[in-house]
Structure 1
Amino acid sequence: MTQGHKVVVSTFADNPMDAMEHHLSLQPMERPAAASLEPHEVLIGIRSAAVGWVDLLMTSGQYQHMPQPPYTPGMEYAGVVLATGTAVDPAQVKAGDRVLVDGLQVGPRSGGAYQSQGGFASYAVVPDTAAIRLPDKLSFDEACCLLGNYETAYHCLVVRGRLKAGETVLILGATGSTGLAAVHVAKLMGATVIAAGRSDAKLAFVQAQGADHVVNITHPDGSPGVRPFRTDVKALTGGRGVDVVYDGVGGEVSLESLRCVAFGARFLIVGWASTPGVANGRGQRGAPNANQLPTNLIMMKGLDVLGAPMVIATVNDPSLRAPRLARILQWVNEGRLKPHVSRTYPLTDFKDAMRAKWQGEVIGGCVLHP
């Protein structure tokens, strides 16, 4: 047996920072024996695991989906197949294959028997249907940042937002993992992209990644809050405003972005990264600090305000997924789409990786190496 390690969330914390300090630990993990695999199971040696915003929010039970502690975090990961069960078709997956693991079937955001098999670990046992062969063009690091980010961006922009070539989209939080994915997808759809964020250096990188324009939403004098950026956006759109807002941020920036839209625009609610304490900590649920949008602006602008929960929508309508995956993998294989990873850490430094993600230090993907 070969010993590895895994991260364990012992109990839900008050908030993710509390979880990192007091409720997460690195524990020994033995390599599962090949003989112990069920007929349709696959043993994965994990090489790369994404550190996602949702992974952090889950540690305090403040995300809408709550795994049962103790559990191993890490919704998305990639690695090498070490062994397969007796009924696994080698044409589908075999020992030695490079694979990414489907986080909707396995890990803390999934349901059922494989919820415990998170990616912050040396090994995982998954069903064969969850092991997707890696496109040759993707590294392990890139692969573990693919599905959640780009499926979210695609569902929100294309399915919910009905984004068309020639339209203009304002992407809030464009330097984050799903935000940068939204920039890539919007450009592939033929849209003009205005990327908003809080760092000139990070926004310059996002512009190099394809954004047509960038807007820094902070006050030049460093004072707190969001500066009025409507004038910037209106100037970039000839006074008209944007057709679509992609909002994964919430809070003050949402309100200001409502003033940046054309009449009849679509406002996509993707997340609320700036206001993570919407729900009570320790898994107590409720929404005592829920974000609010002004109905007067929504009415006068004739807005379509659209909730865009990719996972929940897919659970309710599984037919959404096949065309979405096909399009994303087509773009990858054509060399037109590649996730960006800016930070990597050994598994032993998982707390540093999680802090960097929480504090907004990461552009695009943050990855652990078990």
Structure 2
Amino acid sequence: MNVNTLPTGRRALVSEFAEDPVKAVNEHIALEDQAVPDTSSLQAQDIIVQVKSAAVGWVDLLMTSGLYQHTPPPPYSPGLEYSGIVVWVGADVDSKQVAVGDRVLVDGFQAGPRSAGNYQQYGGFASYAVAPARASHKIPADFGFAEACNLLGSYETAYHCLVTRGQLKAGETVLIHGASGATGMAAVHIAKLLGATVIATGRSDAKLKVVQEQGADHIINCKDPNHPKGVTRFRDEVKALTDGKGVDVVYDGVGGAISLESMRCVKFNARFLVVGWAATPFVAKGEKGESNANMLPTNLIMMKSLQVLGCPTVISTQFDPSSRAPRFNQIMQWVSEGKIKPFISHQFSLDQVREALLAKWNGDVIGGCAINLPEL
């Protein structure tokens, strides 16, 4: 394939950070033409991918207002994870690893906005992206592009939290909050593969029905519009489902009032996994020196002998790169065995980039979401 004959594409660009993601989406994201990357400026180990699909993630939203710990300088194209077809390879790329015409997913740790160095500007909300060849992985035959770009981030997060940190075992019970989200759904899938009983929570009966269809043993709608903090006393339901014993592990990607109530749902010596704080997305926005942190009750932690474990997947991998290979290999083995496949509820075109990001922000998405790039 002659890269010089490829047509001009399109890309979305974040021009500057905003006070919050909604303002960024409405005011600081625009579409523009994109030329094919100049191969003379690329490295011998680089590849160019014609993007077919890019995941729409929570982190993509946080980045637009500088709320994420790894934030590329604007302008940049969002889209941490993407998949597509290789249209150019550098001179030193081993054709046994990747070749022109291959269908690949690109590792968001090593390329795209969350990576370091020269690849930050190349997000997946664009017709073309540049990545090092080592960041590409061939897509399983039974995966579409949308499923492929929604694989690694969600399932690696769920695996790191449940397995590496939580040490979840067969026969144990795990309470998974935000189970209809991308990482929450992945956590349901992985917990079931490990032989655990899953109690999944959410705020929508319709979404929870899908979560149950995806493998959750029990579902609880924890929304209470009449409660000051909007959360039901779901400890009673959890205790009823566990014969009064409580759960062994809590997977909490929501935070806020959910966290407090969860600490009344656990066994003695349970593990509490802090995965995220979707309920309080602006917690990092305090002025320097101002306390704006989420708080957990030390009395409950002590009396339950609760093990509270922070689970930052990316940061943990940076501190210990060797931790990644076991989880990556296990996930890809499960994929090859047909045991996991991302559930995708929403797909959008690049022209609908604002609608896609707002659908994610507003909680419309169940599992994964993708932007599909137009044919060129």
- Residue aligned with 1:206, SS: helix
Distance of 2:109 and 2:224 partners within structure 1: 39
Of 108, 120, 128, which aligns to 2:125?
A: 120
Distance of 1:223 and 1:266 partners within structure 2: 27
User: Alpha-carbon deviation of 1:244?
Assistant: 0.2
Match of 2:361 in 1: 358
User: Alpha-carbon deviation of 1:288?
Assistant: 4.2
| CA 1:278–1:5: 2 relative to 1, 3 Å | same
Q: Quick check: 1:333 aligned with 2:327? A: no
Alpha carbons 1:346, 1:369 under 8 Å: kept? yes
Alpha carbons 1:37, 1:84 under 8 Å: kept? no
Distance of 2:96 and 2:332 partners within structure 1: 19
RMSD: 1.5
Match of 1:70 in 2: 75
Mapping of 1:1-370 within 5 angstroms?
A: 1-34=6-39, 37-219=42-224, 225-280=230-285, 288-370=291-373
Distance of 2:203 and 2:74 partners within structure 1: 35
Distance of 2:225 and 2:369 partners within structure 1: 28
Alpha carbons 2:229, 2:257 under 8 Å: kept? no
More displaced stretch, 181-190 vs 218-227: 218-227
Distance of 1:4 and 1:198 partners within structure 2: 39
- 1:4-59 superposed Cα distances (whole Å, 9 cap, x missing partner): 11111111110000101111111110122555543111110000000000110010
When the two structures are aligned, how many residues end up with a matched partner? 368
Distance of 2:135 and 2:176 partners within structure 1: 31
- Residue aligned with 1:26, SS: strand
Could you list the runs of 5+ residues in structure 1 that have no partner in the other structure?
A: none
User: Alpha-carbon deviation of 1:220?
Assistant: 7.2
| CA 1:362–1:222: 2 relative to 1, 3 Å | farther
Letter in 1 for 2:184: G
User: Alpha-carbon deviation of 1:218?
Assistant: 1.0
- 1:251-272 superposed Cα distances (whole Å, 9 cap, x missing partner): 0111111110001000000000
Alpha carbons 1:65, 1:109 under 8 Å: kept? yes
Alpha carbons 1:279, 1:285 under 8 Å: kept? no
| CA 1:363–1:266: 2 relative to 1, 3 Å | same
User: Alpha-carbon deviation of 1:137?
Assistant: 2.3
User: Alpha-carbon deviation of 1:286?
Assistant: 7.1
- Residue aligned with 1:32, SS: coil
- Residue aligned with 1:305, SS: strand
User: Alpha-carbon deviation of 1:289?
Assistant: 2.7
- 1:38-95 superposed Cα distances (whole Å, 9 cap, x missing partner): 3111110000000000110010001122211111111000000011111111100000
Match of 2:3 in 1: none
**Sequence identity percentage:** 60
Distance of 2:30 and 2:252 partners within structure 1: 33
Distance of 1:152 and 1:271 partners within structure 2: 11
Distance of 1:353 and 1:285 partners within structure 2: 33
Alpha carbons 2:225, 2:231 under 8 Å: kept? no
Could you list the runs of 5+ residues in structure 2 that have no partner in the other structure?
A: 1-5
- Residue aligned with 1:233, SS: helix
